[in-house]
């Protein structure tokens, strides 16, 4: 395969795939943008937490509970280091990025937004960064504006600069598009938002496993991501927020753990981040996320990004040679290639590829406004991870050639 020599992890050189027991020989998993497979170290961390070490946190005075509390808070500290946060107190554990964005909307949004205020989103946002703001629009009367895209599928920050006014109180953009793989200049987006006094939320789901995130360097106010896309377990995610903002936000759910004192007359709240973690948390999920971050950083995000960039380049070069294939997004997309085949529904593409043991995503990818912008109902999407190599690209291309033969 042309360009294979540029891969950092080519077939046979370092078998990262062997670290992933759910990927059997001959199966080509190209759906990491939906969810990444789990390395053995993450699975073992989860197994040990449930099988040997399990106890609740923040409650028991017995040793195992105290040890589990230490491990749980160590996971929070690990996330803080991963994001280059000032403090682990800025890290809230949630179920995923969807819950993180809803938390900001229902807490910060309800407390700070009013009729006449504006929120700026973009045309490439995932539904999870659209629908929560529409719900808040119904409650607060805030207006929602939509930033256009450049010709190659990036959020048009020149247009954003022209659109932003002092009426804008929040900007909410994806760091990496889950459909196009286009990368946001997050630092510039933050500077534009702050120039008009707005806060900015960055959806980092696709960024953290591919290019990473340094919240201090970006300068943003909120950053959200899901653990399962970072080779961690499902049901765990992170909301990072600036300490002064988080401490001023009211709780959005009530229950155990998030309180200081409860009486029937009045309840007072625990400080952040505990204020936002009502009930028994996903203890084992946090420990699994800790193991996933350790795994990714041992390899190195720059190496992972370079590897995925090479795979994207191979894939785009091969598919562009097929006359009936239309590619979407920029050439330097981060780990994601979306495409369509003339006259073939993406679901048919996915089904035929599955017959050849190639797993891709087909659909609107929870980005229906983007599909409308592209004037298509859906795309086929191949997305890469640590475990992929040039053999996966070759299998994808063979499958696409078979699709074109079947449909003529």
Active site residues: 366
**Segment (H or E) for 267:** strand 267-269
Place of tokens 């155990």: 256
The answer to whether residues 68 and 282 touch, using CB atoms and an 8 Å cutoff, is no
Q: Is the dihedral of CA 41, 47, 52, 58 positive or negative?
A: positive
Provide CB contacts within 8 A for 80, sequence distance 6+. 86, 87, 88, 90, 91, 240
Mapped onto helix, strand or coil, the DSSP state of residue 11 is coil
Mapped onto helix, strand or coil, the DSSP state of residue 179 is coil
Q: Which two tokens stand for residue 23?
A: 């990927």
Q: Is the dihedral of CA 208, 339, 121, 158 positive or negative?
A: positive
Q: Omega of the bond prior to 205 within 30 degrees of 0, cis?
A: no
Residue 359 phi, psi (nearest 5)? -105, 115
Interior angle at CA 217, CA 216 and CA 222, nearest 5: 50
Between strands 336-341 and 325-328, the pairing is: antiparallel
Q: In whole angstroms, what is the distance from residue 167 CA to residue 398 CA?
A: 52
The answer to whether residues 390 and 7 touch, using CB atoms and an 8 Å cutoff, is yes
Q: Which two tokens stand for residue 321?
A: 């040679």
Among the residues of 22-116, which ranges form H helices?
A: 40-51, 63-83, 97-104, 110-112
Q: Which two tokens stand for residue 388?
A: 């992929």
Q: In whole angstroms, what is the distance from residue 392 CA to residue 98 CA?
A: 30
Buried/exposed 364-375: b ≥16 CB within 10 Å, e otherwise: bbbbebbbeebe
Q: In whole angstroms, what is the distance from residue 224 CA to residue 205 CA?
A: 7
Among 130, 135, 223, which Cα is nearest to 184's? 223
């Amino acid at each position: 395969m042309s360009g294979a020599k540029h891969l950092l992890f080519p077939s046979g050189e370092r078998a990262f795939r062997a670290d992933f027991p759910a990927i059997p020989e001959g199966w080509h998993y190209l759906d990491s943008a939906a969810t990444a497979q789990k390395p053995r170290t993450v699975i073992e961390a989860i197994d040990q937490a449930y099988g040997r070490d399990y106890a609740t946190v923040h409650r028991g005075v017995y040793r195992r509970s105290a040890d589990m509390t230490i491990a749980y808070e160590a996971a929070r500290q690990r996330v803080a280091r991963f994001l280059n946060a000032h403090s682990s107190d800025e890290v809230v554990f949630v179920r995923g990025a969807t819950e993180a964005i809803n938390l900001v909307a229902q807490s910060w949004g309800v407390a700070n937004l009013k009729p006449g205020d504006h929120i700026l989103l973009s045309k490439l946002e995932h539904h999870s960064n659209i629908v929560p703001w529409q719900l808040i629009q119904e409650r607060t009367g805030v207006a929602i504006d939509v930033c256009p895209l450049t010709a190659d599928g990036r959020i048009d920050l020149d247009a954003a600069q022209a659109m932003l006014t002092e009426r804008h109180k929040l900007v909410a953009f994806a760091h990496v598009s889950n459909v196009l793989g286009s990368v946001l200049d997050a630092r510039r987006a933050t500077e534009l938002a702050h120039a008009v006094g707005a806060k900015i939320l960055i959806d980092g789901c696709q960024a953290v496993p591919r290019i990473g995130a340094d919240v201090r360097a970006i300068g943003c106010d909120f950053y959200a991501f899901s653990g399962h896309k970072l080779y961690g377990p499902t049901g765990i995610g992170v909301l990072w927020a600036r300490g002064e903002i988080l401490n001023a936000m009211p709780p959005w759910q009530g229950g155990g753990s998030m309180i200081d004192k409860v009486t029937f007359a009045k309840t007072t709240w625990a400080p952040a981040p505990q204020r936002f973690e009502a009930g028994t948390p996903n203890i084992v999920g946090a420990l699994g996320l800790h193991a996933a971050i350790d795994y990714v950083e041992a390899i190195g995000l720059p190496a992972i990004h370079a590897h995925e960039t090479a795979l994207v380049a191979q894939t785009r070069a091969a598919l562009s040679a097929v006359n009936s294939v239309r590619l979407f997004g920029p050439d330097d997309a981060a780990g994601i290639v979306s495409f369509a085949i003339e006259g073939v529904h993406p679901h048919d593409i996915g089904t035929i590829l599955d017959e050849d043991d190639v797993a891709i995503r087909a659909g609107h990818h929870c980005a229906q406004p983007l599909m409308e912008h592209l004037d298509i109902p859906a795309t086929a999407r191949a997305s890469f991870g640590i475990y992929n190599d040039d053999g996966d690209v070759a299998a994808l291309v063979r499958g696409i050639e078979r699709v074109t033969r079947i449909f003529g």
